[in-house]
Amino acid sequence: MGRLRRSRTHHARRDVSRAARTRVRTKDLDQIQHDIDHSRKKLEKQPIDEDKPGLGQHYCVECGKYYETDAALRTHTKSKVHKRRLKDLKEGAYTVEESQRAAGMSAPDNRQRGVEDVVRRFGETGVASKEEAFAHSAPAPKA
């Protein structure tokens, strides 16, 4: 019979193992990033909701979690779990764009670089100055 349990499963990274399960699914990092940018004020001052823990009055925006009491929320903001979340948010959420860039699937960039420059320099002033420009760029022969 093989091993029933992976070793070293008792480490302190509680938020990591909790993020992987679906029973108490919290918001993902990109959703929280959106909350912080757009609706932080609204989430910190929510109307009383009997269905939410602590009537929805003690909410940690960064973690997307409700707490029963103000004391619990304050303890949480000092906790390792919360600080790790702040660090993760600082690094930024993993986005679809980033995954596509990693897989080389981003939109192809076929723009010819420098074409505008050449057109601007030679297109308006005509052929004469074009030859002049080439003469300047080529190494000048000794007279």
Site for Zn ion, rule CB under 5 A = 60, 62-63, 82
Give me 22's structure tokens.
Answer: 């679906």
Q: Which helix (H) or strand (E) holds 7?
A: none
Pick 57 or 62: Cβ nearer Zn ion: 62
* Nearest distance, CB of residue 62 and Zn ion, angstroms: 5
Give least dist CB 40 to Zn ion, A: 13
Nearer to Zn ion among residue 92 and residue 123 (C-beta)? 92
Check residue 53 and report its DSSP letter: G
Provide, rounded to whole angstroms, the least separation between the CB of residue 53 and Zn ion: 14
C-beta closer to Zn ion: residue 87 or 136: 87
Min dist CB 61 to Zn ion, Å, is 8
Which structure tokens are listed for 31?
A: 């959703």
Beta carbon of residue 2, minimum distance to Zn ion (angstroms, whole number): 38
Handedness of CA 101, 29, 17, 75 (dihedral sign): positive
In the block, residue with structure tokens 């940018």: 37
What is the token pair recorded at 57? 């009055």
Identity of the residue, 29 or 60, whose beta carbon is nearer to Zn ion in the bound complex: 60
Backbone dihedral angles phi then psi of residue 66, each to the nearest 5 degrees: -95, 145
Task: Count the Cβ atoms, other than its own, within 10 Å of residue 122.
Answer: 16
> With respect to Zn ion, which residue has the nearer C-beta, 64 or 133?
64
